[in-house]
Amino acid sequence: MEYNIVAKAGGKYDVIVCGGGTAGVAAAIAAARAGSKTLLLERTFTVGGMLTLGDAGITKFSEHCRDAQVYKAEVLDVLGTNPRSVQVAGGIPHEYVMRMMRQGGALGTRGDAGSYVFTDRYCAQWTLMDMLQEAGVEVLYDTSVCLARMEGNTIRGVVAHNKEGFVEFLADCVIDATGDADVAALAGVAFHKGVSETDLQEGCGNVLGQMMAFGTMFRVRGVDYSRLYDYLEAHPERFWQHEFGVMTLENARQSHENGEMSVMRVVVDLPEGKTGLLQVYNMPARDEAVLLGPYCGYEGDGLDGKSISRGQEALQRGVQKLMSVLKDYPGFENARVMFVPDVGVRETRHIVGKYVMTGLDVVAGRDFADSIACGGHPVDVHPLPPEVEHMPMNHWRFHIPYRILVPETVENLLVAGRCVSATRMASGSLRTTVQCMATGEAAGLAAAMSAAAGISPAAIDVAALQERLKRAGAIL
């Protein structure tokens, strides 16, 4: 069925950012700070996406080491004396975290941003809102993009829908920060979903098009950490080192008692006769935690409305099932659920850009002449080839090229966040929240440069972009 719609005029902007989530807020702030008249379109009633609505935490600011003692001595402890030497991200993501830490709304490591940063949920929201307002970004909430305004292979704006009906917004440059490459798909940009042919060749995935499972990280209060740590010290077989946070039990307890970020996993018995791993992240409120564990995943398709809906229901039930297990464990007897986010979609579309970043680019830490950001989060996708899953890592980091933000075929469009041009394996490191913010900042500044010069984002001076990012504190 075809329908004709009439869209009212919504105005002309230098830069329009579609999606006010993790990447989109950084993109909008960067574009506006660079002098662009910037509009941010967000489908919900708040900004931040997985940072605020998803309880995913802010990760990862630091280089990675597999050995916990090396990681503590040569990375975490160094954050207190020379943080920039071991950090992989600065700029807007770092500014955001430090503003919250100064207000007591975020937990860091040795006074700075380390592997994980978890936050007071409200502080995380209004700090972003402050930053957007200070930069002069115009934000429209409850507004979803539904059409791309195209002239040949050039995007000239978008049509969105909100309580006013259909509204057309024009722009010199559009940034797709929807997470699912919704705008890019509407504009005709080529993409693949989930596992690609390259992933199959690299040993990441078994079925073409297979996507990562949905998940949810939920928030609880009433956790008695002293009892929990006493229990784990008495039963060390129940402690399981977090593979990305990399803390021993002793380090985790010490960090928690010092009012810093601690990360760990706990082995729990399940009613099916199996065991599962519970991830525990502490919060600024001393009895609060964000949890992720058994029953908190669902195999679904993030581009299918019915699948998302069934996933939302299943994950809500899964939280209740997990909480019934935890009530028998010391420290969780009085824990109660405070918030369960909307379904967390980890993967859908990956656009085809000027360059497709591969898993081998990531694990090899390949540098690029057009690098605009760094990352330090190991690949979080399964299955992985054994040589990748168990590769030695010591002060490991990877680099992110500008070309993966630039679609191959459509002009005046940039893409930021988890839907950039990458294979599924590479996306397993690129989709983390800090790296999404970093690609957003680079996209926002590039869009502002493109709009000011009246040229395509593909034609901007990348060396000038890199220099401006460095001046803003970014780490390339």
Look-up of token digits 């299943």: 314
Among 394, 379, 369, residue whose Cα is nearest residue 435: 379
pLDDT in tens, the chain (476 residues): 888 889 999 999 999 999 999 999 999 999 999 999 999 999 999 999 999 999 889 999 999 999 999 999 999 999 999 999 999 999 999 999 999 999 999 999 999 999 899 999 999 999 999 999 999 999 999 999 999 999 999 999 999 999 999 999 999 999 999 999 999 999 999 999 999 999 998 888 889 999 999 999 999 999 999 999 999 999 999 999 999 999 999 999 999 999 999 999 999 999 999 999 999 999 999 999 999 999 999 999 999 999 999 999 999 999 999 999 999 999 999 999 999 999 999 999 999 999 999 999 999 999 999 999 999 999 998 888 888 888 888 999 999 999 999 999 999 999 999 999 999 999 999 999 999 999 999 999 999 999 999 999 999 999 999 999 999 999 99
With left for phi above 0 and alpha for psi between -120 and 50, is residue 179 left, alpha or beta? left
d(CA 439, CA 163) in angstroms, rounded, equals: 31
Among 102, 123, 17, residue whose Cα is nearest residue 414: 17
User: Which pLDDT score, from 0 to 100, does residue 79 have?
Assistant: 95
- The answer to whether 236 and 303 have CB atoms below 8 angstroms apart is no
| DSSP helix/strand/coil, 396 | strand
* Token output for 23: 């990447």
d(CA 133, CA 131) in angstroms, rounded, equals: 5
Q: How far apart are the first and last CA of the chain?
A: 48
- The answer to whether 358 and 424 have CB atoms below 8 angstroms apart is no
How many CB atoms are closer than 10 A to CB 70?
14
Residue 454: Cβ-neighbour burial (10 angstroms; 0-12, 13-18, 19+):
exposed
Alpha helices by DSSP H, 115-168: 121-135
* Token output for 185: 């798909």
* Token output for 363: 């694990």
User: Which pLDDT score, from 0 to 100, does residue 386 have?
Assistant: 85
d(CA 89, CA 92) in angstroms, rounded, equals: 9
Say how many residues make up the chain.
476
- Exposure string of 262-277, with b = 16+ CB inside 10 Å and e = fewer, is bbbbbebeeeeeeebe
- The answer to whether 88 and 217 have CB atoms below 8 angstroms apart is no
Residue 456: Cβ-neighbour burial (10 angstroms; 0-12, 13-18, 19+):
middle
* Token output for 7: 């869209």
Alpha helices by DSSP H, 42-141: 68-71, 91-102, 121-135
- Exposure string of 362-389, with b = 16+ CB inside 10 Å and e = fewer, is bbeeeebebbbbbbbbbbbbeebeeebe
Residue 5: Cβ-neighbour burial (10 angstroms; 0-12, 13-18, 19+):
exposed
d(CA 298, CA 318) in angstroms, rounded, equals: 9
Residue 21: Cβ-neighbour burial (10 angstroms; 0-12, 13-18, 19+):
buried
Among 73, 77, 131, residue whose Cα is nearest residue 100: 131
User: Which pLDDT score, from 0 to 100, does residue 349 have?
Assistant: 97
User: Which pLDDT score, from 0 to 100, does residue 269 have?
Assistant: 95
d(CA 54, CA 73) in angstroms, rounded, equals: 31
How many CB atoms are closer than 10 A to CB 128?
25
d(CA 195, CA 458) in angstroms, rounded, equals: 27
What is the distance, to the nearest Å, from the Cα of residue 324 to the centroid of all Cα atoms in its chain?
29
- The answer to whether 375 and 430 have CB atoms below 8 angstroms apart is yes
User: Which pLDDT score, from 0 to 100, does residue 287 have?
Assistant: 96
pTM: 0.96
